[in-house]
Amino acid sequence: MHLRTRLFRWTSVVLGALLFAVLGAGTAFAALPIGESRTGKATWYSDAGYGACGTPIDASTQDLVAISHRWWTAANPNNDELCAGISVEVTYNGRTITVPVKDKCPSCGPEHIDLSRTAFQKLAATDLGVINGITWKFVRAGGGGACSTAPAWTAGTWYPAGTVVVYAGRHYIAEHGNPGYDPVISTWYWDPYTCR
Which of residues 99, 124, 140 is at a domain's end? 140
Least confident of 27-41, 57-71, 152-166: 27-41
What is the pLDDT at residue 129?
Answer: 94
Q: For the chain, how big is the Rg over CA atoms in Å?
A: 20
pLDDT at 148 over 70: no
pLDDT at 10 over 80: no
Q: How confident is the model at residue 16 (pLDDT cuts 50, 70, 90)?
A: very low
* 125 and 153 belong to one structural domain: no
* 136 and 66 belong to one structural domain: yes
What is the pLDDT at residue 128?
Answer: 93
Q: How confident is the model at residue 147 (pLDDT cuts 50, 70, 90)?
A: low
* 191 and 114 belong to one structural domain: no
What is the pLDDT at residue 159?
Answer: 84
DSSP state of 116: E
Handedness of CA 11, 17, 21, 22 (dihedral sign): positive
Which of residues 123, 140, 157 is at a domain's end? 140
* 105 and 52 belong to one structural domain: yes
% of the chain beyond a pLDDT of 70: 78
Looking at per-residue pLDDT, the higher value among 32 and 44 belongs to 44
CB atoms within 10 A of CB 70: 17
pLDDT at 143 over 60: no
DSSP state of 153: P
Closest CA to 65 of 39, 83, 38: 83
Q: Is residue 5 part of a domain?
A: no
Bridge pairing between strands 112-116 and 95-105: unpaired
What is the pLDDT at residue 55?
Answer: 87
Range of the domain at 68: 38-140
What CATH number corresponds to the domain at position 191?
Answer: 2.10.10.20
Least confident of 51-55, 139-143, 151-155: 139-143
* 102 and 127 belong to one structural domain: yes
